[in-house]
Amino acid sequence: MSFSLSVILLLATPAANDAAGLGKHTESEGRFVPAENLQWAQVRIQKRIIIRVPRRRPTPAASMARESRQSAPLTFKEKKIGKCMPMNSILGVQMFGGRNLDLITRDRKRIRARLEKKCQARSFYSGFYMEKSGDGKICADRDILHSRTGSKCEIDRFRELVPE
């Protein structure tokens, strides 16, 4: 979400105007008459909301539980989901490899975000930033992720990872 507001200001009292040569306050007419060489100033106020998504590491308890089971490592299959997901549902990110980032959601789902061709997941090793959109969603082929290293990447698609 981003907006800007432009304001044109002229700040001076009638006495200060006369002293500074900005104009004259005429008592007979009761109004201010600006000088010929008066310059106007413009102020721009902008507001942007940036959301930071930190890197999430697997918890030690989860990795120990996997090792103790002595079974094959957990595998996932990708399931299609929509092009958008709520921004406020994302808790963290884990690098997967290549062009894929795994987003961890509040409801403990794992969503794989595939980045555009020129981007690598390793650029997002410490998380990413995104600008809050008007609809509160992050969408493929629309929103841009900003890494702390300066990379900017768009998401090609989202897939939900479900255990096989």
pLDDT (tens digit per residue) in 35-92? 665 566 777 777 677 777 877 766 554 544 555 555 566 788 999 999 999 999 999 8
Tokens describing residue 79: 């399931």
Q: Residue 119 domain-assigned?
A: yes
State which residues form the domain around 21.
2-48
Check whether residue 86 and residue 159 sit in a common domain: yes
Of 132, 158, 154, nearest in space to 141 by CA: 154
Q: Residue 121 domain-assigned?
A: yes
Most confident of 3-7, 93-97, 99-103: 99-103
Q: Average pLDDT of 111-116?
A: 94
Q: pLDDT grade, residue 107 (50/70/90)? A: very high
Scanning the structure block, which residue is given the tokens 């990110």?
93
Give the C-alpha separation, 138 to 110, whole Å.
15
SS3 helix, strand, coil % of the chain, rounded to 5? Answer: 15, 50, 35
Q: How many CB atoms lie within 10 A of CB 46?
A: 9
Total domains in the chain come to 2
Q: Average pLDDT of 137-143?
A: 94
